Structure 1
Amino acid sequence: MSATDAAAQETTPAAAGPHRPGKMKLLYHHTISNALYLVLAPAAAAVSLRASRLTPADLAAARERLMSNLPLAVLLLAVVTVLATVYLMRRPRPVYLLDFACYKPGSEHVVTRETFMAQSAKAGVFTDDNLAFQRKILERSGLGQGTYFPAAVLNSPPNPCMAEARREAEQVMFGAIDAVLAKTGVRARDIGVVVVNCSLFNPTPSLSAMIVNHYKLRGNVASYNLGGMGCSAGLISIDLAKQLLQVHRNSYALVVSMENITLNWYWGNNRSMLVSNCLFRMGGAAILLSNRGGDRRRAKYQLLHTVRTHNGADDRAFRCVFQEEDDAGTVGVALSKDLMAVAGEALRTNITTLGPLVLPMSEQILFLASLVARKVFGLAGVRPYIPDFKMAFDHFCIHAGGRAVLDTIEKNLGLSAWHMEPSRMTLYRWGNTSSSSLWYELAYAEAKGRVRRGQTAWQIAFGSGFKCNSAVWKALRTVEPAADERNPWAEEIHSFPVEVPKVETVAAAASS
């Protein structure tokens, strides 16, 4: 797609651009942000004026005072040098994202609503009421007609088995890894760390071992396989890789995020478990990280922050996404009606930790003022101030877990349709691909030509347990859409965004 096409599509009403704060708020923000300069400017001017009036005699006198206290000056210089050295040695190593790749299945994996309902009917296990229930969920889910299922689910009859599950895992993992290695030019034998996350499929040997075997990675590779950690596990993997890169010098870390559909299709009639059938789809992503200083100039992003929140100590949060048998003994993942409330609580906890790290001082002052008014002065009529995260981030990648999740976060954070577009279009085009959905969303922003040097992106995901995790990235260069032919959106980005009718949320449909 040409730059002209990209510019044209950004002028459509649905993609008119991010919402901007009012003039008064911008004035307040710029005043607070530059307050230090405003205070120091008069002092600097006074010092400059005084220096301009110094005479040769004044300079000679200052030199004599310095020479008379030379031992003290040398000592102070030595102390400063030691402190600076200790600081440089102890500071965290920068972590760079060289590139990432999202897996795009072939046309033989496409599933429409009609295909989904036909396969469900052929299975012969669902009641007529539950077939109608699934149709209602599909119509209101926000998913489009081009999502993907593995071959085992699309076969007639379906044949879920270990061999088919391994086949799906290999297609997704190796497809994404091949793409990211081709994009970066990194050799497989140079990878020192491998982190794989897949919540529900954990074979022996592990998925990470499958990667080591397929790419013949070196014998001392540090490999990790994360299971059972839900849709937020992708950012847990990023956080783990970040910590490992603080120890392994001059190394590459490969992170692979995916979910496996083949063995986790629910063949029962518990409605709380049927919802996941309607939402989850085939997909995955591979991310290549580096701590090599020389990679900064060719990297796309630098990892600034990771914040992890775990509310598993609360029983309600722990059980809101729960794998278990239904009354007939069929295994499935049950979604509780408390899911949205639990997610909201986890989000509040997460942003309370993240806020001070990323929000400008102007927003922190407003939040503190509202807190003091309510807690100290007892002014119950003062509403809690919700920080404007649009002042801290340029791009928002919110896990496309379902329509209800996106609607809730859009409302709670006061985001515009432009900010929500990558998440909503990812849900429409790819469905819920679990932990990899964040990368399809970032790929959407890149394909639209929206990512500019110096901008920041916030990835936020929710997962069973219950967890809410965040990662903040800074773009080190402008990402040109035409330069990435392996972007999963590349061939069709001109047709997005599409209008997705607003209807009753999935959560409301599930309770009906």
Structure 2
Amino acid sequence: MLHFNGCGAGSASLRLAKDLAENNRGARVLVACVELTITLFRGPDEEDCFDTLISQALFGDGAGAVIVGADAQHPAERPLFEMVSVSQAIIPETKHLLNMRLGNNGIDGNISTQLPSLAADNIEKCLLDAFAPLGIRVAWNDLFWAVHPGSRVILDNIDRALGLEPEMLVASRTVVTEYGNMLGATVIFVLDEERRRMEEKGVGAHKWGVMVGFGPGFTVETMVLLSTGD
């Protein structure tokens, strides 16, 4: 069980499932992410500030599941993405920028307006750390993207920091527009949306991709993905 990982729980659980599957021959790991953010919803309070009100407008409930394994048995199993390389980063002196706490009105979230710029400032180094073990060089616009859409503003800042073309983060933007931020479950929705888009566009649009999750701490989970074409 992974608790109190916030928005980074989906990426962290997939990383853990990858380790379990690769170190237990024949294992198939079921990852189930369930987030009930309705427990955060409440009326306004005189102690509120802008940071505490963000969660009231942004979050939504969601659940998603993924089966993770190694050495797929063809043709019975058809893997969608291969999880190739993983890195984690904790940005120093940021734990006060994203946190949850129990208060007089139930569970409250403090989400700093500094997070979008913080994510953008650190995203490229996290990507380089994830790709370094592979010994390959890629252009950011040659990848497919599954970024946790903490908010539209975070996606806008990442777009600008990496010089991404407008369509690169469409899967993330679609999910946050239709469902909101579902914390850890959101990245599974984004992966599914990216899969759907690949089926519509046809196989081979982008072979290499990256999944990015953000969580309390402030933490960044980065995973290099490879499209299997299935």
SS across alignment from 2:110: strand
2:154 aligned to which of 405, 422, 425: 405
Are 1:425 and 2:174 an aligned pair? yes
- 2:24 alignment partner, SS class: coil
Residue 282 in structure 1 maps to residue 65 in structure 2:
no
Map Cα deviations across residues 242-292 of structure 1 (whole Å, 9 max, x no partner). Answer: 111233221110011231123222444213212101011111210001124
How far apart, in 1, do the equivalents of 2:26 and 2:58 lie?
A: 40
Worse-superposed segment, 395-404 or 338-347: 338-347
Gaps of at least 5 residues in structure 2 are none
C-alpha displacement of 1:293: 4.4
1:455 aligns with 2:207: yes
Out of 217, 224, 229, which is 1:472 matched to?
224
Instruction: Using the TM superposition, give the Cα deviation of residue 472 of structure 1 relative to its aligned residue in structure 2, in angstroms.
Output: 2.2
* Residues 404 and 338 (structure 1), Cα distance of their counterparts in 2 relative to 1, 3 Å cut: same
Show the counterpart of 2:87. Answer: 307
User: How many residues in Structure 1 have an aligned counterpart in Structure 2?
Assistant: 223
By percentage of residues, which structure has more helix? Answer: 1
Indicate the residue corresponding to 1:229 in structure 2.
Answer: 5
Corresponding residue for 1:273?
52
Q: Which residues of 2 match residues 369-384 of structure 1 at below 5 A?
A: none
Alignment CA distance shift 1:456-1:325 (3 Å):
same
Contact 2:5 2:184 in 1 (8 A): no
Identify which of 136, 141, 151 aligns with 1:390.
141
Gaps of at least 5 residues in structure 1 are 1-224, 364-387, 479-512
Tell me the CA shift for residue 410 of structure 1: 0.7
Contact 2:9 2:185 survives alignment (8 Å): no
Q: Give the structure-2-normalised TM-score.
A: 0.85
| Larger gyration radius, structure 1 or structure 2 | 1
Q: Is the 8 A contact 2:141 2:165 kept in 1?
A: no
Matched with 2:99 is 322
Distance in 2, matches of 1:285 and 1:468, equals 20
Residue 329 of structure 1 deviates from its aligned partner by: 6.0
Q: CA deviation at 1:359?
A: 7.3
Q: How many angstroms apart in 2 are the aligned matches of 1:356 and 1:247?
A: 22
Cα distance, 1:475 vs structure 2: 2.1
Q: How far is 1:295 from its partner?
A: 4.6
Aligned to 1:241: 17
CA distance in 2, matches of 1:322, 1:306: 24
Query: Please, which of 397, 414, 438 is the counterpart of residue 187 of structure 2?
Result: 438
1:8-59 superposed Cα distances (whole Å, 9 cap, x missing partner): xxxxxxxxxxxxxxxxxxxxxxxxxxxxxxxxxxxxxxxxxxxxxxxxxxxx
